[in-house]
């Protein structure tokens, strides 16, 4: 038997009388009819519940990492539920501010922030800037000479911890483009400099060891590595970054936000850290609340080899399989509890053989052209990392709750694709 595990579906998932899936009280097939496909569907109550859980686990100061998924509705939702917002570019900053999130609730990140990004963030009055390099300190001082604004900053420290995850998303190791290395003494030099700089007010330290980290123990290692400098500098704040993993496929297990918070708090207590400890989860807030719906357009059998099922999206709306070899499950919204006895390759509509969404996708028998097919746990780093390759319009996003669907990002049109083309 290979029925899609219920745990991979959004919290509000229910099975209707004909075996069809409802999320937030909405029938997925009707959503696909109304809004078209590909379509990102988010369980709004689940997004809200995860934000509240993060606030309970870490207290005020915990930030939603908007790179996972951002639009104004999401920024507003995270803010309403008590989270701060972590932005990593001028664009993310613009959307967060455009959503009405107060600048003081925004944290600016980035290993190569431009003068313009730093200027805009400081002038808007962002709550924290996480300083990543000596060049950034130079830039902040130059900008301070221009306008006299003093920014509250954390220093991003590279603790020299290798969290076991995909190497592309490991960030805590010494050989990293991010942050001030602890072992080489840069962290101490940066703290010295920040403390004496007129351009910044140093309020704390920050570390982010990586993403899709399944073992909370890596955070204990990071905290042990950071404890001497945290305690020596006696700064009021420490952010442990984001990165706690989520289950994408059958058999995977990840700590909850609550469990992660407990591990971090206990490790800080053991290490004698008295700073207020916060974090920046992205994936753990957004991933499992989202589902992508696709329409099957072409089925091709290669005798003795495999069946290709081509849908109307592809690696433009979910580049994670192509980039990291990430796994996803598949199911048919019309028969969510059906036994998935056939294995097919779910591909997109792009001009590359690497355009594979699920190499070994389990589906029930009887899949036909015109069917809806869905991938769960696509709420993080799908749409946000998507592209317009082959000039496919980016999909729409709907939030569902209490039987109501609300369009929060409309599908792009050909006019959108031409809007920036001034030739
Ligand atoms: N804080 C910082 C400084 C980060 O760089 C990140 C993610 C986060 C927080 C949030 O991490 P999360 O809780 O979402 O794991 N595209 C990759 C993930 C890249 C993560 C980049 N930084 C993926 O799809 O797996």
Q: Using a 6 Å cutoff on CB, does residue 240 contact ligand 1?
A: no
User: How far away, in angstroms, is 15 Cα from ligand 1 center?
Assistant: 33
pLDDT at 163: 79
Q: 144 with 273, same domain?
A: yes
Q: 121 with 233, same domain?
A: yes
Q: Residue 351 belongs to a domain with what CATH number?
A: 2.40.37.10
Which range marks the domain in which residue 206 is found? 44-286
pLDDT at 14: 98
Q: Residue 186 belongs to a domain with what CATH number?
A: 3.20.20.10
Q: 185 with 307, same domain?
A: no
Q: 24 with 89, same domain?
A: no
Most informative mutation of 282, 317, 357 for ligand 1 (most atoms within 8 A of CB):
282
Q: 211 with 300, same domain?
A: no
Q: Could you identify the atom of ligand 1 that is nearest to the CA of residue 283?
A: 14
Q: Using a 6 Å cutoff on CB, does residue 321 contact ligand 1?
A: no
In a domain, 392, yes or no: yes
Please tell me the residue having the least CA distance from ligand 1 atom 23: 381
The β-bridge relationship of strands 342-347 and 306-311 is: parallel
Q: Using a 6 Å cutoff on CB, does residue 68 contact ligand 1?
A: yes
309 contact partners, CB below 8 Å, separation of at least 6: 296, 298, 299, 344, 345, 346, 347, 361, 363, 367, 373
Q: Could you identify the atom of ligand 1 that is nearest to the CA of residue 166?
A: 25
Q: 227 with 313, same domain?
A: no
In a domain, 73, yes or no: yes
In a domain, 201, yes or no: yes
Domain count, the chain: 2
In a domain, 1, yes or no: no
Q: Using a 6 Å cutoff on CB, does residue 109 contact ligand 1?
A: yes
Q: 21 with 54, same domain?
A: no
User: How far away, in angstroms, is 130 Cα from ligand 1 center?
Assistant: 15
User: How far away, in angstroms, is 68 Cα from ligand 1 center?
Assistant: 7
Q: Could you identify the atom of ligand 1 that is nearest to the CA of residue 326?
A: 25
Please tell me the residue having the least CA distance from ligand 1 atom 15: 243
Q: Using a 6 Å cutoff on CB, does residue 241 contact ligand 1?
A: yes
H/E stretch holding 258: helix 257-270
Could you tell me the CA-to-CA distances from 343 to 149, 174, 301, 332, 357 in Å, in that order?
59, 42, 12, 13, 13
Q: Rounded CA gap, 178 and 104, in Å?
A: 24
Most informative mutation of 53, 65, 245 for ligand 1 (most atoms within 8 A of CB):
65
Q: Rounded CA gap, 124 and 199, in Å?
A: 16
Q: Using a 6 Å cutoff on CB, does residue 65 contact ligand 1?
A: yes
Q: Using a 6 Å cutoff on CB, does residue 243 contact ligand 1?
A: yes
In a domain, 90, yes or no: yes
Q: Could you identify the atom of ligand 1 that is nearest to the CA of residue 243?
A: 15
Q: 37 with 109, same domain?
A: no
Q: Which of 255, 286, 317 is the last residue of a domain?
A: 286
Q: 116 with 166, same domain?
A: yes
Q: 281 with 307, same domain?
A: no
Q: Which of 246, 267, 286 is the last residue of a domain?
A: 286
In a domain, 111, yes or no: yes
Q: Using a 6 Å cutoff on CB, does residue 320 contact ligand 1?
A: yes
H/E stretch holding 27: strand 26-27
Q: 11 with 72, same domain?
A: no
pLDDT at 158: 94
Q: Which of 253, 286, 319 is the last residue of a domain?
A: 286
Please tell me the residue having the least CA distance from ligand 1 atom 20: 211
User: How far away, in angstroms, is 380 Cα from ligand 1 center?
Assistant: 9
Q: Rounded CA gap, 423 and 408, in Å?
A: 31
Q: Using a 6 Å cutoff on CB, does residue 283 contact ligand 1?
A: yes
CB-facing half-sphere around the CA of 9: CA atoms within 13 A = 21
User: How far away, in angstroms, is 282 Cα from ligand 1 center?
Assistant: 6
User: How far away, in angstroms, is 280 Cα from ligand 1 center?
Assistant: 9
Beta strands in 71-213 (DSSP E): 84-87, 106-108, 128-131, 151-158, 180-181, 200-206
The residues facing 153 across adjacent strands are: 129, 202
Quick: pLDDT tens for 148-191: 999 999 999 999 988 777 777 777 788 899 999 999 999 999 99
pLDDT at 289: 98
User: How far away, in angstroms, is 211 Cα from ligand 1 center?
Assistant: 5
- Mark the ranges of the chain whose per-residue pLDDT is less than 70: none
- The catalytic residue positions are 351
CA 155 to chain CA centroid, Å, is: 22
User: How far away, in angstroms, is 171 Cα from ligand 1 center?
Assistant: 9
User: How far away, in angstroms, is 95 Cα from ligand 1 center?
Assistant: 18
Q: 272 with 352, same domain?
A: no
Closest alpha carbon to 76 in 59, 100, 102: 100
Task: Answer for the pair 354, 315: CB distance below 8 angstroms, yes or no.
Answer: yes
Q: Using a 6 Å cutoff on CB, does residue 381 contact ligand 1?
A: yes
Most informative mutation of 242, 278, 378 for ligand 1 (most atoms within 8 A of CB):
242
């Amino acid at each position: 038997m290979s029925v899609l595990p219920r745990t991979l579906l959004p919290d509000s998932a229910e099975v209707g009388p004909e075996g069809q899936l409802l999320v937030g009280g909405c029938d997925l097939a009707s959503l696909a009819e109304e809004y078209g496909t590909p379509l990102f569907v988010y369980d709004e109550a689940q997004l809200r519940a995860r934000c509240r859980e993060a606030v309970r686990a870490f207290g005020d100061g915990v930030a939603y990492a908007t790179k996972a998924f951002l639009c104004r509705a999401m920024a507003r939702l995270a803010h309403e539920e008590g989270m701060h917002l972590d932005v990593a570019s001028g664009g993310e900053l613009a959307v967060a501010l455009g959503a009405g999130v107060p600048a003081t609730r925004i944290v600016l990140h980035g290993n190569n922030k431009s003068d313009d990004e730093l200027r805009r963030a400081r002038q808007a009055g962002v709550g924290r800037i996480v300083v990543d390099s000596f060049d950034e300190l130079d830039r902040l001082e130059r900008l301070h000479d221009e306008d006299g604004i003093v920014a509250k900053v954390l220093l991003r420290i590279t603790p020299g911890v290798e969290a076991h995850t995909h190497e592309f998303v490991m960030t805590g190791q010494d050989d990293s483009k991010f942050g001030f290395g602890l072992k080489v003494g840069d962290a101490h030099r940066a703290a010295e400099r920040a403390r004496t700089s007129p351009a910044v007010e140093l309020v704390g330290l920050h570390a982010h060891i990586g993403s899709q980290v399944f073992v909370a123990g890596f955070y204990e290692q990071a905290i042990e590595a950071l404890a001497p400098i945290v305690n020596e500098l006696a700064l009021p704040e420490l952010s442990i970054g984001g990165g706690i993993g989520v289950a994408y496929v059958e058999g995977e297990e990840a700590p909850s936000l609550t469990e992660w918070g407990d591990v971090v708090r206990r490790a800080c207590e053991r290490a004698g850290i008295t700073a207020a400890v916060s974090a920046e989860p992205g994936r753990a807030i957004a991933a499992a609340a989202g589902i992508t719906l696709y329409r099957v357009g072409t089925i091709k059998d290669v005798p003795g080899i495999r069946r290709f099922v081509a849908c109307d999206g592809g690696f433009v709306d979910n580049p994670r399989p192509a980039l990291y070899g990430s796994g996803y499950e598949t199911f048919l919204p019309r028969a969510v509890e059906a036994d998935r006895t056939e294995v097919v390759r779910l591909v997109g509509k792009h001009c590359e053989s690497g355009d594979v969404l699920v190499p070994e996708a389990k589906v029930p028998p009887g899949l036909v052209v015109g069917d809806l097919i869905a991938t769960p746990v696509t709420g993080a780093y799908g749409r946000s990392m998507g592209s317009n390759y082959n000039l496919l319009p980016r999909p729409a996003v709907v939030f569902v709750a209490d039987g109501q669907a609300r369009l929060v990002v409309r599908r792009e049109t050909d006019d959108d694709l031409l809007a920036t083309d001034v030739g």
